[in-house]
Amino acid sequence: MLSEVLLLSAPGKVILHGEHAVVHGKVALAVALNLRTFLRLQPHSNGKVCLNLPNIGVKRAWDVARLQLQDTSFLEQGNAAAPTPEQVEKLKEVAGFPEDGANPECLAVLAFLYLYLSICRKQRWTGEDLELINKWAFQGERMIHGNPSGVDNAVSTWGGVVRFQQGKISSLKRPPALRILLTNTKVPRSTKALVASVQSRLLKFPEIVSPLLTSINAISLECERMLGEMEAAPAPEHYLVLEELIDMNQHHLNALGVGHASLDQLCQVTMAHGLHSKLTGAGGGGCGITLLRPDLEQPEVEATKQALTDCGFDCWETSIGAPGISVHSAASLDAPVRQALDGL
């Protein structure tokens, strides 16, 4: 086994403002979440390419020579092209999956093989080119989600804060890093069903729901302006405005019908500690975010986390506005991350 190891990471993503309104052409702000996915690339001399995804229980290996013998002419040469249904079926043959294999584990392996075989066919590969990384990441998203918006891969590539509206994506120049709690209520929900319910409510009450969507758009724009002001020198009054925007957006989302009793409980628990929360994503359960002001003492943060845990929720303290895809030295990683990677 060779010793050269390349360590990379990419952030997660949450929606700060604009859930559901973005479906109707309004602005959404997505932020990079500093809960990161780590990747370890290590060359081997055993002639195999190995894939280990411990969080979803996937561990596969292929002979490089055998992969090279596969007919991969179905893959586009050189460009980050969208996988076609025919290509997906061909990849299932390469992976040894049945035709109806469509569970998350299967899709993760197919996404890896598509990217691996496509990229390895290129004569030149410049890993520092963020635009190219983003394009390839988008194709991985297509393999798994079919018709993604492009926000997830853009946030993971560039980090920070991303503005999304009607397919157009742009990044804020120097967004501030904001401390938050990310809380998982563990209540499952269907994004597709929730989006459809908002559409149904809009058709039923257009003069009521349309202004709500316009107001959510205004909240997103005001938050964008406020984050721009905070680039130079964040001040306490900025955080007060951000808290107000969080409260207003949460009320609007409840009015759209995408709230849930678990999210109400989350907001009530954090409000009892003087903190402000809102759902993130589709709603109907799922996750919520809580803004942590810079002046908040750590014992109060821990008390809030404990109160949320006592509700049966999972809670993580992290930050948003995190860096995008990054290369690390082993010494720069926290001990738990190093131990997890060493255990692969």
Tell me which residue of 98, 155, 101, 162 sits closest to 130, measured CA to CA.
155
Which has the higher per-residue pLDDT, 176 or 276? 276
**Structural domain 6-172+330-343, CATH architecture:** 2-Layer Sandwich (3.30)
Fold for 178-320, please state it.
Alpha-Beta Plaits (3.30.70)
* DSSP SS3 for 332: helix
102 pLDDT higher than 60? yes
pLDDT band at 2 (very low <50, low <70, confident <90, very high): very low
Tokens of 40: 């370890």
**CA-CA distances (angstroms) from residue 50 to 59, 228, 314, 318, 326?**
7, 44, 32, 31, 22
**CA-CA distances (angstroms) from residue 82 to 139, 143, 160?**
6, 8, 26
Report how far Cα 202 is from the mean position of its chain's Cα atoms: 27
Q: What is the pLDDT of residues 110-164, one digit of tens each?
A: 888 887 777 665 443 344 567 888 888 888 888 776 677 788 888 988 899 999 9
Would you state the pLDDT for residue 125? 36
pLDDT band at 38 (very low <50, low <70, confident <90, very high): confident
Q: Delimit the domains of the chain by residue range.
A: 6-172+330-343, 178-320
Dihedral of alpha carbons 152, 157, 158, 160, sign = positive
The DSSP line for 101-142 is --SHHHHHHHHHHHHHHHHHH-S---TT-HHHHHHHHHHHHH
Tell me which residue of 187, 214, 189, 184 sits closest to 282, measured CA to CA.
189
Give the span between the Cα atoms of 14 and 97, in whole angstroms: 32
- For 105-119, 236-250, 297-311, which range has the lowest pLDDT when averaged over its residues? 105-119
6-172+330-343 and 178-320: same fold?
no
Would you state the pLDDT for residue 145? 67
Which has the higher per-residue pLDDT, 16 or 110? 16
Which has the higher per-residue pLDDT, 5 or 186? 186
Give the span between the Cα atoms of 26 and 20, in whole angstroms: 9
Which has the higher per-residue pLDDT, 128 or 284? 284
Query: For the residues 315-339, what does the mean pLDDT come to?
Result: 83
Dihedral of alpha carbons 153, 135, 162, 143, sign = negative
The residues near 37 (Cβ < 8 Å, ≥ 6 apart) are 9, 10, 12
